[in-house]
Structure 1
Amino acid sequence: MSPLHSLGTIRRLGVKELWSLWRDPVMLVLIAFSFTVSVYTSATAMPETLHHVSIAIVDEDHTPLSRQITAAFYPPQFLPPALIGQEAVDPGLDIGRYSFVLNIPPDFQRDVLAGRPAEIQINVDATRMSQAFTGNGNIQQIIQGEIQAFLRGRNPAMASPVELSLRARFNPALEKAWFGSLMEIINQITMLSLILTGAALIREREHGTIEHLLVMPVTPAQIMLAKVWSMSLVVLLAAALSLNGVVRGLLGVPIEGSLPLFFAGAGLHLFAMTALGIYLATLARNMPQFGMLMILILLPLQMLSGGTTPRESMPQLVQNLMLAAPTTHFVELGQAILYRGAGFDVVWPSFAALLIIGSIMFHLSLRRFRSAIGSMA
């Protein structure tokens, strides 16, 4: 069979896969939901983000410094502070009305100006763990910043001679939506590449069309390549629409790097993940089994790839093992390109790793696929 004829066969088989997907409304709804609602909610409903957090202040000092500290808490991170008495602290925390309560003691300003130790009590509702952890650090920074500003205004000689200048690169306003939306795009590309290819193979087995392919003059490699390119095309198109429509348009997240370069890396990642999806589909007998296998594989891939927490914070053994996972290199190149505007001269090692891993996965999946369809014949 000539290479040109083989490519034509792969194209026609891929078109057949696209028509099969078009007639599957459940999969179409899943694709649409994954790249619209899921991306938007991941960007805007992150639990660690401080957004309209309730805070109360017990001001027992009633001085310009205490009023300056009170005025430093404002939307959108905090709700306007509620000024309460000492007797309302415990009931307010017990009922969940306040997440944080600050107690500014009497003579606080006088102690600060005199250089004596001065303390502010911060009461935290630790049942709201994510907000408690993030908000506690933010509140301490706000209070320290206001005290330093107050001292500089009253007596410049009392201020610290060293001033820390903080510059946040790539995300100056520290917008959590910038991180959440782009990482969700990367996660959905990974998830749908597994689901679509695996479901396509299982669907053919359940409908009996795999037997039709076995009597046709096509090879297992052509069948696999057809599924790989067709499902990869669907995922890439959905991701491109989501990046431009939801991320850029609806959320207003800037994309720093080259989108063609990112999608080139995504194509290599899809080459590896679609092959893995076919491998899992040959192990499963039906969709429920495939779903269980996918969860066992997908969750570690996404949680340990560096998209949720930095890889440097993980044990060294986990870091080394995850170098064999395509998601690790895809997250690395995706963050470098989309967040930091990196070029090919920076991300080429990730491209090379994805190409090697994808080739190995495709070879292993092809061997398994040949064995599986051989047992059907």
Structure 2
Amino acid sequence: MGRQLANIYRLGVKELWSLARDPMLLIFIVFSFTAMIYSSATARPESLHKAPIAVIDNDVSPLSQRIIDAFFPPHFLTPQHVTPSEADAGMDAGRYTFVLNIPPNLQRDVLAGRAAEVQLNVDATRMSQAFTGSSYIQQMIGDEVRTFANRYRASVEAPVDLAVRMRFNPNLTQAWFGSLMELINNVTMLSIILTGAALIREREHGTIEHLLVMPVTPTEIMLAKVWSMGLVVLVAAACSLTFIVRGALHVPIEGSVPLFLAGAALHLFATTSMGIFMATLARSMPQFGMLLVLVMLPLQMLSGGNTPRESMPQFAQDIMLVAPTTHFVELSQAILYRGAGFNVVWPQFLWLAVIGSLLFSFSLMRFRKTLSQMA
């Protein structure tokens, strides 16, 4: 047993030195756990943020000015007063997402109790802002008109008062969700890439034949790749969680980071085994890259990270129970967002241990078969 552990350790150290001599992979690791996470949290806000808006004010009344003053940062940029021709040219050039056309006599019609219409032109090519912003603007205009007509800021008391409490993310800050989900996705992606690249690199360089004549077993070779590449990803994830998510983005982590890293280690056991299995199927890095696309898209889209699993077809929910990412996303969200302890997430730990053991067994059988064909 001691000799086997020594072999696994030395082979793992060899993998780390091989990775250290590959600058492109090192740059990719650093980029994935820094810039990718930061940009995912800040560059794609789901809420309305600094949307450009222009106004055609044909009424020039206190009510129209009140409506214009309602649009202010950070949801909107300061409204630009334009003419109809300037508005059309601005939307054609992509300078405005929204153009609000306030008709003449709007205030007179509102005070007289007559129906009035305000036209909103939306650049629908900016899909996220267009969908969210049109609802914002409709509600804002309605509130301002009602307040102006009633002469005070009040609303009719509803028969039922709905008290909404946003738990775990009170301000609905997208960065809190986007950064952690990108971190979770990158743990999966990098673990598959690094183990697969390690095996393919040895096959392309001919060093795999050197291992075949050494007194080591396929199990030891595979375990060395699993622990070394898994350790790299785990350390990178821990550093990213500390310096990028908590430090740069100021995302509060509610739960135990060591418990999350323990779950990540189990997940890495499964995904690194998956990476070795995929590397035995691919004959080169380009083939491995194409295979990675086919595997990563379902793992990310159907794991429950982007959309709740309950909204998916039942067969998709059942199939994804055998994917490690499903259970890793569940335990990560429970620990990092909701502060869950081991007594809550132990089923996900058990699932990851079982799936990881099965993937490792299948990968080992395929790895042995590949080595026997090369011998």
TM-score of the pair, normalised by structure 2: 0.92
Unaligned runs of 5+ in 2: none
The structure 2 residue matched to 1:217, chosen from 215, 218, 230, is 215
Judged with a 3 Å threshold, the aligned counterparts in structure 2 of structure 1 residues 192 and 157 are, in CA distance, closer, same or farther, namely: closer
Aligned to 2:249: 251
Task: Name whichever of 243-252 and 137-146 sits farther off.
Answer: 137-146
Q: 1:161 to 1:151 in 2, by over 3 A?
A: farther
Q: Deviations over 1:300-352 (max 9, x none)?
A: 21122122222223222222211211111111221222222222222222222
- Alpha-carbon shift at residue 8 of structure 1 (Å): 2.2
Deviation at 1:108, TM superposition (A): 3.9
- The match for 1:15 is 13
Q: Secondary structure at the match of 2:120?
A: strand
TM-score after normalising by structure 1: 0.91
Distance (Å, rounded) in 2 between the aligned partners of 1:119 and 1:184:
43
- Residue in 1 that maps onto 2:134: 136
Amino acid of the structure 2 residue aligned with 1:184: E
Structure 2 CA distance for partners of 1:85 and 1:189, relative to 1, 3 Å: same
Say which of 74, 77, 82 aligns to 1:84. Answer: 82
Paired residue for 2:71? 73
The change in CA–CA distance for 1:233 and 1:149 in structure 2 (over 3 A counts) is farther
| Cα separation, 2, equivalents of 1:359 and 1:157 | 60
| 1:193 match | 191
Q: CA deviation at 1:278?
A: 0.3
What pairs with 1:221-236 in structure 2 (closer than 5 Å)?
Answer: 221-236=219-234
1:312 maps to what in 2? Answer: 310
1:53–1:99 CA contact under 8 A, matched in 2: yes
Code of the residue aligned with 1:239 in structure 2: it is A
> How far apart are residue 46 of structure 1 and its match?
0.8
- Where 2:101 maps in the other structure, the secondary structure is strand
C-alpha contact (below 8 Å) 2:147/2:154 kept by paired residues: no
The match for 1:285 among 283, 294, 307 is 283
State the SS of the aligned residue for 1:261.
Answer: helix
Q: Residue 13 and residue 158 in structure 1: after superposition, are their counterparts in 2 closer, same or farther (change >3 A)?
A: closer
Give the letter aligned to residue 27 of structure 1: L
SS of the residue 2:356 aligns to: helix
The answer to whether structure 1 residue 365 and structure 2 residue 363 are counterparts is yes
**Cα pair 1:152 1:158 within 8 Å, conserved:** no
Task: Summarize the Cα distance change of 1:152–1:366 in structure 2 as closer, same or farther, 3 Å threshold.
Answer: farther
Q: Which amino acid aligns with 2:292?
A: M
Mapped to 2, the partners of 1:162 and 1:117 lie a distance apart of 28
Could you say if the C-alpha distance between residues 148 and 8 of structure 1 is closer, same or farther in structure 2, counting changes exceeding 3 Å? farther
Paired residue total: 375
Q: Deviations over 1:53-102 (max 9, x none)?
A: 11112334444443333222212221101123445433332332211112
Give, in angstroms, the shift of residue 115 of structure 1.
Answer: 5.7
Hey, what does 1:295 align to over in structure 2? 293
Preserved CA contact (<8 Å) 1:151 1:159: no
Residue 42 of structure 2: aligned partner: 44
Contact 2:230 2:265 in 1 (8 A): yes
Say if 1:168 and 1:174, in contact at 8 Å, map to a contact too.
yes
Q: How does 1:340-355 map to 2 (within 5 A)?
A: 340-355=338-353
Name whichever of 234-243 and 327-336 sits farther off.
Answer: 327-336
Within 1, Cα distance between the matches of 2:314 and 2:182? 26
> Residue type of the partner of 1:282?
T
Compare 45-54 and 210-219 and name the one that shifted more: 45-54
More deviation, 266-275/20-29: 20-29
The alignment partner of 2:67 has SS state of: helix
Is the partner of 1:58 in helix, strand or coil? strand
* Cα gap change, 1:333 to 1:119, in 2 (>3 Å): farther
- What amino acid does structure 1 have at the position aligned with 2:178? G
Q: Deviations over 1:140-169 (max 9, x none)?
A: 333344445556653858565655543322
Contact 1:54–1:78, Cα closer than 8 Å, also in 2: yes
Amino acid at match of 2:76: F
Match of 2:32 among 10, 17, 34: 34
* Root-mean-square deviation over aligned CA pairs: 2.3
Q: Identify which range, 187-196 or 295-304, moves more after superposition.
A: 295-304
Q: What is the percentage of aligned positions where both structures have the same residue?
A: 66
